[in-house]
Structure 1
Amino acid sequence: QLTASSCCDMESMLLWTIHEPSTIALTIMYSLSFLLGFIGNLMSLRVLTSRRSRRLAGVSATRSLLVNLAVCDLAVVCVCMPITLGSQIYTAWVYGDLLCRAVPFTQAISVSASVLTLTVISVNRYYSVRSPLRARSMFTRRRILATVAVVWTLSSIMCAPIAVMNRRREISFETFTILVCQEEWPQLRLKYNVLLFVMLYCLPVTFNLTIGFLTGRRLWGGRKSTFADLDPRSQALHSSRLKTRQKIAKMVVCLVLLFAVSWLPLYVADLWIDCEQRPSSWLLQTRPFAQWLGLTNSSLNPICYCFIGDLYRSAKVIRTRYYQKVAAFFI
């Protein structure tokens, strides 16, 4: 007969994984990603909404869309990362039914909104290069706000089944019962995940890389002789605008490639697990690392914003002022 202490030891052994090397590694990795993502995205929002960045010529639409992207990333960092790590350390679900549905939904809707926002940014930059006057009339502030609303609405519709199908389930052992949070699909789990993979990964990534190539070909593909007959001041103005557009084009391609590399392993792992009746242990052990890589995409995006020189300089100014305030506090 099991004593109370032996029952507690068994429960601790089954539920707590903090002593496992993989959990220790994930704890360190998530902690670093959280700090980088929290500070980076707050800094990005501070810079993107500052008066200095509002005066950036020709990139106001891109700036508004980057604000939306930073909001998506901050939601992932603040909501998904801590609870995902917590459920890895302690396998029982102790966060309630609401978070059981909200955390996976937040991850899904943020990923969806991010990739759709990247698509809008890619289209905006293409038209800004191909037809600047038309781009200004197309991407007005009101239309950008409407586009952001459409992005979140579409993301909510596509990801709503995740909130519905995630629920808590009891698992009984000999001496105790625990709650776990799982997706419970009657039949369509694999088909739904394939749909998400196609709609939120394959199509957007392919489209964004294609339009990024077309944008780059226009930016680096010549036409320099057209401005040879301009006066030096006009040439300098054109050269400055061209460099800004080239930097933004690099940033967009970098964001798309970063998204593609970060989320592909998790999509592949989930589809593989869905296809297997009895997934192998190494696949199940690898999935948490694939999820960490996907979530860390939200921590790395702010680094890409450094491609826009003016935003980078604004960030340095804000950082310097912050250090001065901290130093003044201790003096």
Structure 2
Amino acid sequence: MAHIQLVANLCCLVTGLLNLSRRPSMENISMWNVSLGSQLPLEAVTQTVEAPESLAGVSLPLQIFFCLIMLSILLLALLGNVVVCLMVYQRSAMRSAINILLASLAFADMMLAILNMPFALVTIVTTKWIFGDAFCRVSAMLFWFFVMEGVAILLIISIDRFLIIVQKQDKLSPQRAKVLIVVTWGLAFIFSFPLAVGSPPLQIPPRAPQCVFGYSMEPSYHAYVLILILVFFFIPFMVMLYTFMGILNTIRLFKTRAFTTILILFLVFTVCWAPFTAYSLVATFSDGFYHKDSFFQISAWVLWLCYLKSALNPLIYYWRIKKFRDACLNLMPKYFKFLPPLPGNTKRRIQPSAVYVCGEHRTVV
């Protein structure tokens, strides 16, 4: 009889393991414990089968695709924004008000690439968060800190273009630009710091490649998410849309290249961040969406899209702003230059403005 009982217990054990391999849940654990006649304590069984959430429903080719995309965006964002910061720092002729603001935007994108993207990339590779609870909260704070700073800088540039083109007022000097940069960095830190101390609390380990907002029933949690989304996306979007509509009414009398450059930056911001904004709101208020098996996969899609903005901004500067393009070519090592440099007198005949230095208060965007 003892042998028959042992065989029966082993059969129940194998059945329980098969069920748990399909979907490890507390119900399966309880059934397994009961089928074994309570010979194993529930705590021991739970410790055995509990595992970090993984890439549910994501195939290996898709996982490789996410890794390659994230790695490419990381390299582009890091190298491109480093070049922008170096150009403004090293060249006094580049330190106009707008260029200082663009350097601050590039610095925020560069720090986002350094302090957030690598950990999201590792999480996609390992399929679980391995960096601990404290850094999960800190990474969420850093993510929103740098994102809000970038949005604030883009908002300032849009308002400045509106004042110049519509109101015919050029009030943004390099000194005022530096003051605005300090203020925006301070405000971004104030809004994002509560995440680092667990207020509101985030689910750890996250069900996404990095710490994001998840479902909660707490009114204070909902209030914080709504305020952050309003400050980060909806209010800047409406203000920038108003400025661009006002500029369009008077653009016939002015050069259009400056306006087009800022408009491209605005469109890139909207396309890259609108999906993440909707995703954060739905995850906060919808339990079904947050606990979907494909939530990790959806998170990976929207995260690489929002990180894409940091990689595209330097390319837009190089494409649209001649001074950035020329400075970038001058910083490039000689063995990377395919065309020989032109003599000084030839430059002057081809493009006379190339030998003159712009005034301190002139803008180049």
TM class by shorter-chain length?
A: 0.7 to 0.9
Q: Greater Rg, structure 1 or structure 2?
A: 2
1:293 aligned to 300, 305, 315, which one?
305
Secondary structure of the residue aligned to 1:281 is: coil
Partner in structure 2 of residue 238 of structure 1: none
- For residue 307 of structure 1, report the CA deviation from its aligned partner: 1.0
Partner in structure 2 of residue 29 of structure 1: 69
Secondary structure of the residue aligned to 1:278 is: helix
Partner in structure 2 of residue 105 of structure 1: 141
Partner in structure 2 of residue 329 of structure 1: none
* Contact 2:151–2:236, Cα closer than 8 Å, also in 1: yes
Secondary structure of the residue aligned to 2:332 is: helix
Q: Greater CA deviation, 268-277 or 27-36?
A: 268-277
List per-residue Cα deviations over 1:190-237 (Å, max 9, x = no partner). 33222222221111012112212323443x323xxxxxxxxxxxxxxx
- Say yes or no: does 1:260 pair with 2:292: no
- For residue 304 of structure 1, report the CA deviation from its aligned partner: 1.5
Change (3 A) 1:247 1:98: farther
2:107 aligned to 71, 74, 88, which one?
71
- Say yes or no: does 1:221 pair with 2:252: yes
Q: Distance in 1 between matches of 2:237 and 2:211?
A: 31
Secondary structure of the residue aligned to 2:312 is: helix
Q: Which amino acid aligns with 1:141?
A: P
Q: Distance in 1 between matches of 2:273 and 2:205?
A: 30
Q: Relative to total residues, which structure has the larger strand share, 1 or 2?
A: 1
Change (3 A) 1:147 1:12: same
List per-residue Cα deviations over 1:138-165 (Å, max 9, x = no partner). 3233222111111011111111222222
CA RMSD, aligned part only? 3.3
Partner in structure 2 of residue 200 of structure 1: 232
1:15-164 → structure 2 map (5 Å cutoff): 20-51=60-91, 54-55=92-93, 60-130=96-166, 134-135=169-170, 138-164=171-197
List per-residue Cα deviations over 1:64-100 (Å, max 9, x = no partner). 1001000000011111111012122224433244422
TM-score (norm. length: structure 1): 0.74
* Contact 1:48–1:63, Cα closer than 8 Å, also in 2: yes
* Contact 1:97–1:167, Cα closer than 8 Å, also in 2: no
* Contact 2:53–2:128, Cα closer than 8 Å, also in 1: no
Q: Distance in 2 between matches of 1:157 and 1:322?
A: 46
Secondary structure of the residue aligned to 2:288 is: coil
Change (3 A) 1:150 1:117: same
Q: Which amino acid aligns with 2:98?
A: T
Change (3 A) 1:152 1:299: same
TM-score (norm. length: structure 2): 0.68
* Contact 2:145–2:192, Cα closer than 8 Å, also in 1: yes
Q: Distance in 1 between matches of 2:332 and 2:77?
A: 16
Q: Distance in 2 between matches of 1:262 and 1:191?
A: 24
Q: Distance in 1 between matches of 2:122 and 2:220?
A: 29
- Say yes or no: does 1:190 pair with 2:222: yes
Q: Distance in 2 between matches of 1:170 and 1:39?
A: 31
Change (3 A) 1:145 1:276: same
Q: Greater CA deviation, 72-81 or 12-21?
A: 12-21
Q: Distance in 1 between matches of 2:326 and 2:204?
A: 51
Q: Which amino acid aligns with 1:276?
A: S
* Contact 1:122–1:211, Cα closer than 8 Å, also in 2: yes
Change (3 A) 1:190 1:89: farther
Secondary structure of the residue aligned to 1:114 is: helix
Q: Greater CA deviation, 77-86 or 95-104?
A: 95-104
List per-residue Cα deviations over 1:279-320 (Å, max 9, x = no partner). 233454212110111112111111111311222122122225
- Say yes or no: does 1:323 pair with 2:336: yes
Q: Which amino acid aligns with 2:87?
A: V
Secondary structure of the residue aligned to 1:94 is: coil
Change (3 A) 1:170 1:125: closer
* Contact 1:269–1:283, Cα closer than 8 Å, also in 2: no
Partner in structure 2 of residue 210 of structure 1: 242
Change (3 A) 1:183 1:38: same
Q: Greater CA deviation, 160-169 or 289-298?
A: 160-169
Q: Any gaps of 5 or more consecutive residues in structure 2? A: 1-9, 14-48, 338-365
- For residue 131 of structure 1, report the CA deviation from its aligned partner: 5.7
1:267-278 → structure 2 map (5 Å cutoff): 267-278=277-288
Q: Number of residues paired by the alignment?
A: 283
Q: Distance in 2 between matches of 1:170 and 1:216?
A: 47
Percent sequence identity over aligned pairs: 22
